[in-house]
Amino acid sequence: MDREQLCMLKELMALEFTVLEFHLYLDTHPTDQRALMEYNSFVQQLSVLKRQYQDRYGPLTWQEPSAYPWQWINEPWPWEICYE
Distance from C-alpha of 53 to C-alpha of 18, rounded to nearest angstrom: 18
Alpha helix ranges (H) inside 29-66: 33-57
Show me where the domains of the chain are located.
3-59
At 1-56, the pLDDT tens digits run 789 999 999 999 999 999 999 999 999 999 999 999 999 999 999 999 999 999 99
d(CA 36, CA 25) in angstroms, rounded, equals 10
> What distances in angstroms separate CA 48 from CA 8, 12, 15, one per listed residue?
12, 10, 11
Cα–Cα dist 69/84, whole Å? 30
Please tell me what DSSP assigns to residue 80.
Answer: G
pLDDT band, residue 63 (cuts 50/70/90): confident
